[in-house]
Amino acid sequence: MKLPDGPQTPRVLRLIQWITRPTELLDTSQKRYGDCFTVWGSNKVPMVYLGHPEAIQKVFTTPPNYLEDNGGGRVMQVLLGDNSVILLEGDRHQRQRQLLTPPFHGERLRGYGKVICEITEEVMKQWKIGEPLLVRQSMQEISLQVILRLVFGLEEGQRFEQLKQVLASLLDGFNSPFTSSMLFFGSLQKDLGAWSPWGRFIRLKQQIDELIYDEIRQRRKQFDPSRTDIFTLLMAARDEAGEPMTDVELRDELITLLMAGHETTASALSWALYWIDHHPEVREKLLNELDTTDPTAIARLPYLNAVCQETLRIYPIAIVAFPRILRKPLQVMDYEFEPGAVLFPCIYMAHQREEVYPEPKRFKPERFLERQYSPYEYLPFGGGNRRCIGMAFAQYEMKLALATIISKYRLTKSDRRPVKPVRRGLTISPPANMQMVPTMEHHNIPAKL
């Protein structure tokens, strides 16, 4: 077995670094060892981080019988359930992808535009001009309402409020590197009662389960095929054998959409607002381009698209794609891996390569107008048979929410200190305490039709 070189730091120290300063750890390792490096897991298992496009392409295009997907281990299983598309393999994984994909594309997607803009405006009405606001909290409010209304089809009411509150509490339980550490250390995953971190997590998850199963039962009793929310579309979906999803499968996919679709979009929107404030010329170009209130037209604006793409390049919300465990020997570039080796296609490292992205630490949306990148050079939503199903939905929501915000308000960070990404559960995001001050934007954008 020929492995790439890598840091020899003791595993516990490396894990602490991975939890507290993940991007710095990757930057340092990439600078020292290059685009592929090895660290050692428990039982001397080689864990190989791959940031070179050629290596990433090899992993994403290798036949599934060579690789066992590892969707995040026990924590993901506890959180999402055994039937989540993230954790399934082979034919079962393919079946779920086919059932889940249609609602997130084409005409279905375009029908959601007006609601996304309305939700964003409702949240903005709560802002007070000249008073600092916690940006991430506001963006989370937008993305959670989008999920509850468009995915779950819930309008304001008891279940809407209950789900909103319980889910926010659950996710805020991972809002710092310290609380996120229980996702990485199995010894911390012990239910020591309602006041212990893991015990609190388990109880909140049970409350979410009860609410979702109640909603499934109610929808089955009074099924309305005319509804356009994703929940209804998933209930109506049939596989090739004509079989629908079971209640348990539905629950697992809905919680997956809640978790994966809510946190990630909130973080991406927060970063975009930070970069737009940091680069006044970006803001001017966006406002000059923004001459429409039609959601479909907004989604096609090239500079807005480039700003969203560069936001997801510089600090991708997920810094690694799903790990793959080798079942058979595999050669990747000059390296030879044996069964049992764990391969991590590293999104962050791929996005930081000087050869592909000159001045990679600089926020420069123009790079996405100047050239096209391959899916192995730019992969904020992962790739291969594990690419995020909600990619088109997330990009659509990000563009519309961002355009709606900047057309009405200028958000300014109260100090000019640069912001570094922090660990939030399994993702990275701007710090939860990042504040910005809203002022009215006086820009001549057509009145709403």
pLDDT in tens, 291-339: 888 999 999 999 999 999 999 999 999 999 988 999 999 999 999 999 9
Q: What is the pLDDT of residue 431?
A: 92
Please indicate, yes or no, if residue 449 is contained in any of the structural domains.
Answer: no
Please indicate, yes or no, if residue 93 is contained in any of the structural domains.
Answer: yes
- Report whether pLDDT(418) > 80: yes
Please indicate, yes or no, if residue 433 is contained in any of the structural domains.
Answer: yes
Q: What is the pLDDT of residue 74?
A: 60
Q: What are phi and psi of 421, to 5 degrees?
A: -70, 145
Averaged pLDDT score across all residues of the chain? 88
Please indicate, yes or no, if residue 388 is contained in any of the structural domains.
Answer: yes
Please indicate, yes or no, if residue 317 is contained in any of the structural domains.
Answer: yes
For residues 181 and 63, the model is more confident at 63
Please indicate, yes or no, if residue 429 is contained in any of the structural domains.
Answer: yes
Query: In terms of residue numbers, what domain contains 434?
Result: 11-440
pLDDT in tens, 302-312: 999 999 999 99
Q: Summarize the confidence of residues 57-62 as an average pLDDT.
A: 94
- Report whether pLDDT(448) > 60: no
Contacts of 211 (CB under 8 A, 6+ apart): 159, 162, 163, 166
C-alpha neighbours within 13 Å on the C-beta side of residue 366: 8
Please indicate, yes or no, if residue 2 is contained in any of the structural domains.
Answer: no
Q: What is the pLDDT of residue 317?
A: 94
Provide the number of structural domains found in the chain: 1
Q: Summarize the confidence of residues 271-283 as an average pLDDT.
A: 96
For residues 230 and 377, the model is more confident at 377
pLDDT in tens, 84-119: 777 777 788 788 888 877 777 677 778 899 999 999
CATH number for 102? 1.10.630.10
- Report whether pLDDT(71) > 60: no
Short-list 16, 433, 10, CA closest to 188: 16
Please indicate, yes or no, if residue 403 is contained in any of the structural domains.
Answer: yes
Model confidence band, residue 199 (pLDDT cutoffs 50, 70, 90): confident
Model confidence band, residue 356 (pLDDT cutoffs 50, 70, 90): very high
- The model carries a pTM of 0.92
Q: What is the pLDDT of residue 75?
A: 64
Query: Which burial class, exposed, middle or buried, applies to 143 when counting CB atoms under 10 A from its CB (0-12, 13-18, 19+)?
Result: buried
Q: What is the pLDDT of residue 442?
A: 65
Least confident of 142-156, 276-290, 337-351: 142-156
Q: What is the pLDDT of residue 449?
A: 35
